[in-house]
A and B are shown apart, each in its own frame.
Chain A
Amino acid sequence: MAKIYSNASPIKNNLKPKDETVSFLLNYSKALSVINYNKLKFEALLN
């Protein structure tokens, strides 16, 4: 009988970031504000 060597790795079915990571990014985005002052850009993280 031919052996099948191409079994899918179980880990591949669940390849997506953790919910915490996504939620961190969304919160980071909300907290980050860029302040323009003349030609300078300042980043401020507001919690």
Chain B
Amino acid sequence: MKKELIQDAELVSNYINGDEHALSILISRHKQKIYSFIYSKVYDRDITEDVFQDTFIKVIRTLKRGKYNEEGKFLPWVMRIAHNLVIDHFRKNNRMPKFDNAGEFSIFSVLSDSSLNAEKSMIKEQVESDVRRVIEELPEDQKQVLVMRMYQDMSFKEISERTGVSINTALGRMRYALINMRKVIEQNNIVLTN
């Protein structure tokens, strides 16, 4: 209780005058704040430990050399030293803080590479060329409707206008085209999945 009553400024002044115990009070009073501050920037326990140590080495040297002037408060001054050392660390390593994937939530479970890999894109090409070959086997009128609908993305109304048949006929040709394709695929045991 008595320790808390002694102000930082008084402890600093005692330390400068040779009271080593004052430093241990200062460290134990502020270590958690300073350590958390550093950790919030670097996200690595070992680096935090190093920066924390370097911060207090700088504090000790400055105090012992008598270069500290009690303009502001002790803690903001130490925080500024820690902040500068964190910047030095990143400058030295020339990189930004890395994402710590130690938690329960993994960012990689949400992010994925949507592009196909080499194997999958080869399978896709194979499937597409098989489908085209099956379409070639269809009677001309069915093939025409299917190509217009699936590859040219035309509506059945447009198809009926283009081919000069009724919409119902176009729909019927489409239906038979699909039935015939299924038949060809089953007969030849063609696998069209990837």
Contact = CB atoms under 8 A, between A and B. Distances in A.
Interface of A: 5, 7, 9, 11-12, 15-18, 21-22, 24-26, 28-30, 32-34, 41, 43
Contacts of A22: 24, 27-28, 31
Contacts of A25: 23, 27, 53, 56-57, 60
Contact of B23 (A5, A7, A26, A41): A26
Contacts, number: 56
A46 B104 CA distance: 48
A12 B40 CA distance: 10
A43 B61 contact: yes
Interface in B1-57: 20, 23-24, 27-28, 31-32, 35-36, 39, 45, 48-49, 52-53, 56-57
B102 interface: yes
A15 B48 CA distance: 10
Interface of B: 20, 23-24, 27-28, 31-32, 35-36, 39, 45, 48-49, 52-53, 56-57, 60-61, 64-66, 102-105
A26 B64 contact: no
A16 B20 contact: no
7 contacts: A22-B31, A26-B24, A26-B27, A29-B20, A32-B60, A32-B64, A34-B66
Nearest to A30: B20
Main secondary structure of the interface of B (DSSP, over half): helix
Report, nearest first, the 6 A-B pairs whose CB atoms are least far apart: A15-B36, A34-B64, A25-B56, A29-B60, A16-B32, A17-B52
B36 A28 contact: no
Contacts of A41: 65
Contacts of B61: 32, 43
B74 to A, nearest CB: 15
Contact of A11 (B24, B32, B102): B102
Contacts of B31: 16-17, 22
A30 B22 CA distance: 12
Contacts of A34: 64-66
